[in-house]
Amino acid sequence: MTEKDFIPSEYTKLVTKGGVTWKSPSNIALIKYWGKEANQIPANPSISFTLDTCATTTTVIYKKLENKAQDFSFDLFFEGSLKEDFKPKIQTFFKRIENYLPFLKSYHFKIETSNSFPHSSGIASSASGLSALALALMSLEKELNPEITQEYFIKKASFIARLGSGSAARSIEGDIVQWGNHKGTTNSSNLYAIKYPYEVHKSFKKYQDTILLVDKGQKEVSSTVGHNLMHNHPFAKERFKQAHENLDSLKDVFANGDLKKFIEIVESEALTLHAMMMTSLPYYILMKPNTLEIINKIWAFRQRTNKSVCFTLDAGANVHVLYPESEKEETLQFIKDELVAYCQNGQYICDQIGFGAEELKVRKE
């Protein structure tokens, strides 16, 4: 499919008002998206576990305007209060997607959004937030054109979410999701994410992710700035090639359940992501001393017990501790005994692989 396939023809129905609510999860990348071209085209393919507990719930209430407006018309409420400072991000998002959802200027939108995780936890909310909004807008498109298929709905929701935030493309479906052209993956695309299409060993069922909140402060360097620093980065070419190779290897790992190899790929990806930041110009470090303390504790625990616990990082100081469900009890004990001390205010979130976004209820107003 190409971009043109997402431009709708005339809508068949008139819809004057309505509302819809979607709950959309966050995701954690195993192979990282880091670097992009114009129009949110990723520099390399990525793959993630969809999460379950960490999610954004968004209600969009829409009302048709008498005449198409000059500009987008919307109010944004975050956790119950009007949020003017979030508006520019939505404005930019609407501008990027207007071509594909041409009804946007014909409605006034009331957008109410809230997260299941603490606002200032440092957890990226762009994946869950923008996927939830993309899905809500797609629900309106489906009302205007009831003919669209479920398959098209999902693809276009991911396509629209991607234009808001790259990683949001991977938050529509579960449980393992891939985004970006990859030779070894049939139907993979730079335009939208797909559900991982191959066999997955039972060891990965209900894989656990305990998120250790090391630093809840605002990130010093945003992901958008970080992605841009991959242009002219001295190691970019090799890094993009490595992501393709890691995806090839991960395909075998998913099929045969080789957790040792899984750990090697996932931890290497996390450290490579941060190595890219440290070797950008300007260079920067998002890990904190406690991030490293935790990594060392995890390595020592693994050495001692031969368990399959490992870590990954997103673009921040927090640590995602990944482990199979069969090792849940002893790993949680280890986390409580040895890792929680390094979390800000002792805070952590227990999550696991989830199965994607869900529509909660339709509210007509």
Q: Which is nearer to ligand DP6, 30 or 144 (CB)?
A: 30
Tell me which residues in 93-112 interact with ligand DP6 (CB under 6 A).
Answer: none
Q: Which is nearer to ligand DP6, 46 or 56 (CB)?
A: 46
Token code pair at residue 158:
């991911």
Tell me which residues in 287-326 interact with ligand DP6 (CB under 6 A).
Answer: 314-315
Is 32 a binding residue for ligand DP6 by CB under 6 A? The answer is: yes
How far apart, in whole angstroms, are the C-alpha atoms of residue 23 and residue 154?
14
Smallest distance, ligand DP6 to C-beta of residue 164, A: 7
| Residue count of the chain | 365
H/E stretch holding 73 reads strand 73-78
Smallest distance, ligand DP6 to C-beta of residue 81, A: 24
| Total Cβ atoms within 10 A of residue 197 | 11
How far apart, in whole angstroms, are the C-alpha atoms of residue 318 and residue 123?
8
Smallest distance, ligand DP6 to C-beta of residue 33, A: 3
Strands 73-78 and 193-195: unpaired
Smallest distance, ligand DP6 to C-beta of residue 362, A: 29
Tell me which residues in 221-260 interact with ligand DP6 (CB under 6 A).
Answer: 223-224, 227
How far apart, in whole angstroms, are the C-alpha atoms of residue 1 and residue 188?
10
Q: Which is nearer to ligand DP6, 32 or 297 (CB)?
A: 32
Q: Which is nearer to ligand DP6, 222 or 305 (CB)?
A: 222
Strands 73-78 and 81-82: antiparallel
Q: Which member of 19, 20, 25, 33 binds ligand DP6 (CB under 6 A)? A: 33
Residue 29: closest CA among 286, 223, 285, 213 = 223
Smallest distance, ligand DP6 to C-beta of residue 356, A: 16
H/E stretch holding 99 reads none
Tell me which residues in 161-200 interact with ligand DP6 (CB under 6 A).
Answer: 165-167
Residues in binding contact with ligand DP6, number by CB under 6 A: 17
Q: Judge whether 17 and 64 are in contact, CB under 8 Å.
A: yes
The interface region with ligand DP6, picked from 50-58, 83-91, 159-167, 355-363 by CB under 6 A, is: 159-167
Q: Which is nearer to ligand DP6, 142 or 233 (CB)?
A: 233
Give the chain's radius of gyration (CA, Å): 20
Is 92 a binding residue for ligand DP6 by CB under 6 A? The answer is: no
Q: Which is nearer to ligand DP6, 19 or 166 (CB)?
A: 166
Dihedral sign, Cα of residue 125, residue 131, residue 133, residue 136: negative
| Total Cβ atoms within 10 A of residue 346 | 11
How far apart, in whole angstroms, are the C-alpha atoms of residue 348 and residue 31?
23
Tell me which residues in 326-355 interact with ligand DP6 (CB under 6 A).
Answer: none
The interface region with ligand DP6, picked from 52-60, 160-168, 290-298, 300-308 by CB under 6 A, is: 160-168
Q: Which is nearer to ligand DP6, 101 or 270 (CB)?
A: 270
Q: Which is nearer to ligand DP6, 223 or 331 (CB)?
A: 223
User: Which of the 8 DSSP states describes residue 316?
Assistant: S
Please list the residues that pair with 359 across neighbouring strands.
22
Smallest distance, ligand DP6 to C-beta of residue 235, A: 16
Token pair 């999701």 is found at 177
Q: Which member of 126, 131, 272, 331 binds ligand DP6 (CB under 6 A)? A: 126
Output the DSSP codes for 92-115.
HHHHHHTTTSTTGGGEEEEEEEEE
Is 46 a binding residue for ligand DP6 by CB under 6 A? The answer is: yes
Residue 293: closest CA among 349, 343, 222, 327 = 343
Q: Which is nearer to ligand DP6, 200 or 225 (CB)?
A: 225
Binding-site ranges for ligand DP6 (CB under 6 A) = 29, 32-34, 40, 46, 124, 126, 165-167, 223-224, 227, 273, 314-315
